[in-house]
Amino acid sequence: MGRWWVVALSEAVHGDKALAVTCEGEQLAVFRDGKGAVFALEDRCPHRRVPLSPGPVKAGGLQCPYHGWTFDGATGLCNDIPNLRRDERVPARYAARAFPAAEANGFIHVWRGAGTPAAELPGASYRAADREQTGSAVANIAFEQYLDVMLDGPECLLSFPGVHITDFFLGDPRRDGEHLVLDRGAVWKGKGNGPAFVRDHSLWVRTRVPVTGGDIRVELLSADEDPLVTIFIAASENRRGTTSLVWRGFRHATAAPLSWRWRMARAIGRAPFAIFPHIDGAAVAALEVAPSRDRRLAKTDARTPAERVVPVQERCAV
């Protein structure tokens, strides 16, 4: 069964140029037509296999930069080969691979895999309530590891200014549909005796990580669980063990007590969070595999019964 993936920010796809993205390791060309509708084609011309994304967007669709073959965004059908005679038609079977595409809340989604595209889009769960901070990057970490580290040590992947994220997990990951949700303590930097001696954490960081798929939600919460910052991060497998990231996030208006650093940062318009494109390998390597065990187990359970057959020796070894 297929699924929707967030592949780009809405504002990154505009004009008469396509955007090259990689999702589940596959290269895609995402573009809009004159009316703003969004489309996704495999970034590979079926004629001579060159990428389509550098080509211009024409009335008929995306035009290959090499020989000018033009492909309809919705169907992938080739509707123009330059210099054909007027009585010649492009064979009906000539087509690039097309993927259903949809847009919601500032994210462009592409449906990949079998089945009818689901009605609900991952990005639909995100609603900005204040000025947003957005971005995209390719992180130097493999996709599955990115999801696991988001549970085991999100401080390796992101930060909130003036906030120390601890590794004290509040319980175990909680299953919420297709996601695992985990809270951990956090404290204001420079306030109190430091994270090791704090009686009660003044902040929480809640990570909501998918078992399968790539939509991650991270929230910085006050001690009373009032949201201070919400971030939606869309991750997907890029090439050569890297991960595509796209994110939007915002700072909530709150009455919760804040550190002077936080208030200062807000006053000068500093971003309320940072997503790391360059990840510290030593820090990741030092993380113990902890809550992410539950994700791996859940992922195994999500497989089909035929895939879950346990070898006899393995069962007997218990």
Partner 1 sequence: MSEVPMMDAAGREAEVTSKRDWVPINLDLRDTWFPVAYSADIGQGAVRRIVHAQDVYLWRDGGRLYAAEFRPDRLEAMRAGASAFTNGSGFYPAVERYGYIWAWYGNPDNAHEELIPNIPFLPPDGQGIPRYTQRAVRFDAASPLSVENLIDLTHADFLHANAIGDGQSENDVVEVHSTSETVTRIRNVTRKSVAPVMRWIGGVRAQYQDLRAVLHVHLRNNVCISYPNFTPGYPIPNVQPFVPVGKHRSRVDQTNYTVHAPAPFRWLMPRISYVIQPQDNSVLRPQNARYFESTERRDLSSRFDGPGNRYRLLMVRLAERQQRGDFGYGADADPSADISAVLGMRG
Binding site for partner 1 (CB under 8 A): 44, 46-51, 54, 64-68, 78, 81-85, 87-92, 94
Q: Within 13 Å, how many C-alpha atoms sit on residue 269's CB side?
A: 1
Q: Give the nearer residue to partner 1 in terms of CB position, either 133 or 242.
A: 242
To partner 1, the closest distance from the beta carbon of 22 in angstroms equals 13
To partner 1, the closest distance from the beta carbon of 3 in angstroms equals 24
Whole-angstrom distance, CA of residue 144 vs CA of residue 243: 9
Residues 6 or more apart in contact with residue 73 via CB below 8 angstroms: 31, 33, 37, 39, 40, 41, 61, 62, 98, 101
To partner 1, the closest distance from the beta carbon of 50 in angstroms equals 4
Q: Give the nearer residue to partner 1 in terms of CB position, either 92 or 253.
A: 92
To partner 1, the closest distance from the beta carbon of 317 in angstroms equals 39
Whole-angstrom distance, CA of residue 77 vs CA of residue 42: 12
Structural contact between residues 291 and 206, judged by C-beta atoms closer than 8 angstroms? no
Whole-angstrom distance, CA of residue 70 vs CA of residue 57: 9
The encoded tokens of residue 256 equal 């919760």
How deeply is 52 buried, as exposed, middle or buried, from its count of CB atoms within 10 A (0-12, 13-18, 19+)?
Answer: buried
Q: Give the nearer residue to partner 1 in terms of CB position, either 96 or 187.
A: 96
Going along 142-261, which residue ranges are E strands?
Answer: 158-159, 163-176, 179-188, 203-210, 215-222, 227-237, 243-251
Q: Give the nearer residue to partner 1 in terms of CB position, either 23 or 77.
A: 77
Tokens 């580290």 belong to: 149
How deeply is 193 buried, as exposed, middle or buried, from its count of CB atoms within 10 A (0-12, 13-18, 19+)?
Answer: exposed
**Interior/surface letters 109-134, b for 16+ CB within 10 angstroms, e for the rest:** bbbbeeeebeeebbbeebeeeeebbb
To partner 1, the closest distance from the beta carbon of 53 in angstroms equals 10
Whole-angstrom distance, CA of residue 67 vs CA of residue 126: 41
Q: What separation in angstroms does the CA of 53 have from each of 18, 70, 76, 96?
A: 5, 12, 14, 12
To partner 1, the closest distance from the beta carbon of 69 in angstroms equals 8
Q: Give the nearer residue to partner 1 in terms of CB position, either 21 or 221.
A: 21
Q: Give the nearer residue to partner 1 in terms of CB position, either 84 or 118.
A: 84
Q: Give the nearer residue to partner 1 in terms of CB position, either 52 or 158.
A: 52
To partner 1, the closest distance from the beta carbon of 48 in angstroms equals 6
To partner 1, the closest distance from the beta carbon of 161 in angstroms equals 40
Tokens 């596959």 belong to: 26
Q: Give the nearer residue to partner 1 in terms of CB position, either 36 or 82.
A: 82
To partner 1, the closest distance from the beta carbon of 49 in angstroms equals 4
Q: Give the nearer residue to partner 1 in terms of CB position, either 82 or 257.
A: 82
